[in-house]
Amino acid sequence: MREVAIIGVGMVECGELWEKSLRTIWAGAALAALEDAGVDSVDHITVGCMSPGLFVGQEHLASLLADELGMAGVAATRVESACASGGLALRAGIAEVASGLADVVLVSGVEKMTDVDGADATYALGSAADQEWEGFHGITFPGLYAMMARAHMAHHGTTSRQLAAVAAKNHANGLLNPHAQFHLKVSIDDVLASTMVADPLHLLDCSPITDGAAAVLLMPLARAKDLAGRRPVVRVTGSGMATDTITLANREDLARLRAVELAGERAYTMAGKGPRDIHVAEVHDCFTIAEIMATEALGFFAAGEGGTAAEAGSTALGGKLPINTSGGLKAKGHPVGATGVAQVVEIVTQLRGEAGQRQVSGATVGLTQNMGGSGGSSIVHIMEVE
């Protein structure tokens, strides 16, 4: 396999982008990544998008987007693994470059979620659960994570305050990220005082509905070094993906995310690294409990200690291992198909030393963890400065 480098990153601001269509949002991020890399042609475009069919009534998305960029003729593939579609788009791009099928791949993710109302958005997101045996009974995504939160609390003594600490920390980070959907200070008490969505999860434990897109450019490491000049080159050294039962009732332990554990192990093995080697990480905090469970599954903290660590500030900027310096899905926003790529944009920015006020000093090894649905799939990548 050839070694793969990320040579350009691009992102548009996340939010309720009423004035922009899916293709316009996507093209903004794609152009930014091409410009950042100094490249104007690609061999392949991968697009992570969860449900353009339900959100905007559009399928056949990759071809549409290639044309939007004036690149009709190029190979283009849309991949889907619910909210992990973006991470999967990166993995698909890596496979193209590593195998030699393509030299230059534009990896992208996009979701346009605000063209439908809240009820239809809830329905579209709900299609990442088992529709016949979970959706049938009226479950929602906050409900699924609430049931995991309840199990985690019962097994480990995790508290609502610890969950709220994750939200407060990620909003504090979001204040430092110009691309974030929300720039607001949120305290632990604000979270605990917000409306209950699905007991024990409050409104401020949940990530928002977001329009957004992100893109990165891949090429073989040798070529990237020539192109980068004096700018640091970031290499993808580990990629792991794993699945679990989508149906929550079929999981042996509801307080664990098995797909995250497996994807993490595979990525660590490929990179020859372990949890203690990671300097900065973006994890999938679609709900506050998800960040706590992911940090345990990735081995950053022992099982049951993720909540305590968050409350103690271990995952804040300046802490032992800063998590979600971008603001995470919580504050940066969660355009589901774009999220996995947006995580990579943040880690590359950190490893290049270009993260400004939220820079983790001396970070040379970073990790991203993207998750589909209630943990039915997960994708982990490890990146290092060359």
Beta bridge partners of 241: 379
Per CB under 8 A, 157 contacts another protein: no
Q: Does 150 bind another protein (CB under 8 A)?
A: yes
**Is 274:299 a contact under the CB 8 Å cutoff?**
yes
Q: Name which of 137 and 230 has its Cβ closer to another protein.
A: 137
Select from 7, 11, 104, 147 the one that contacts another protein (CB under 8 A): 147
Q: Does 184 contact another protein by CB under 8 A? A: no
Q: Which of 58, 122, 194, 364 forms a contact with another protein (CB under 8 A)?
A: 122
Residue 200 preceded by cis peptide, ω within 30: yes
- Of the two residues 8 and 126, which places its CB atom closer to another protein in the complex? 126
61 binds another protein (CB under 8 A): no
Minimum distance of another protein from residue 146's CB (angstroms): 4
Interaction between residue 50 and another protein (CB under 8 A) = no
**What minimum distance in Å lies between the beta carbon of 300 and another protein?**
24
CA atoms lying within 13 Å on the CB side of residue 278: 32
CB 235 within 8 A of CB 221: yes
Residue 57 touching another protein (CB under 8 A): no
In angstroms, the first-to-last Cα distance of the chain is: 17
Q: Which of 146, 180, 292, 321 binds another protein (CB under 8 A)?
A: 146
CB closer to another protein, 118 vs 178: 118
Instruction: Report the candidate in 316, 270, 271, 269 with the shortest Cα–Cα distance to residue 295.
Output: 316
Q: Are the CB atoms for 341 and 89 separated by under 8 Å?
A: yes
Q: How many residues contact another protein, by CB under 8 A?
A: 36
Query: Shortest CA distance to 166 belongs to which of 174, 157, 154?
Result: 174
Residues 242-261 interacting with another protein (rule: CB under 8 A): 245, 247-250, 254
Smallest separation (angstroms) from another protein to the CB of 204: 14
Q: Is 262 in the site for another protein (CB under 8 A)?
A: no
Interface segment toward another protein; rule CB under 8 A; list 121-129, 213-221, 338-346, 376-384: 121-129
Question: Of 2, 5, 8, nearest to 217 (Cα)?
Answer: 8
Contact predicate 220/207, CB 8 Å = no
Tell me if 137 contacts another protein by CB under 8 A: yes
Q: Torsion angle, CA of 272/36/17/180, rounded to 10 degrees?
A: 50
Closer of 143 and 335 to another protein (Cβ): 143
Listing DSSP states for 294-330 in one string gives HHHHTTSS-TT-HHHHHHHTTTSTTSSS-B-TT-HHH
Helix (H, G, I), strand (E, B) or coil at 337: helix
148 sits near another protein (criterion: CB under 8 A): yes
Give yes or no for residue 194 binding another protein (CB under 8 A): no
Q: Per rule CB under 8 A, is residue 199 in the interface with another protein?
A: yes
Told to check if 54 binds another protein by CB under 8 A, we report no
Cα separation, 194 vs 206, whole angstroms: 11
Contact between 265 and 257 (Cβ < 8 Å):
no
The residues binding another protein (CB under 8 A) are: 119-120, 122-123, 126, 131-140, 142-143, 146-148, 150-151, 154, 195-201, 245, 247-250, 254
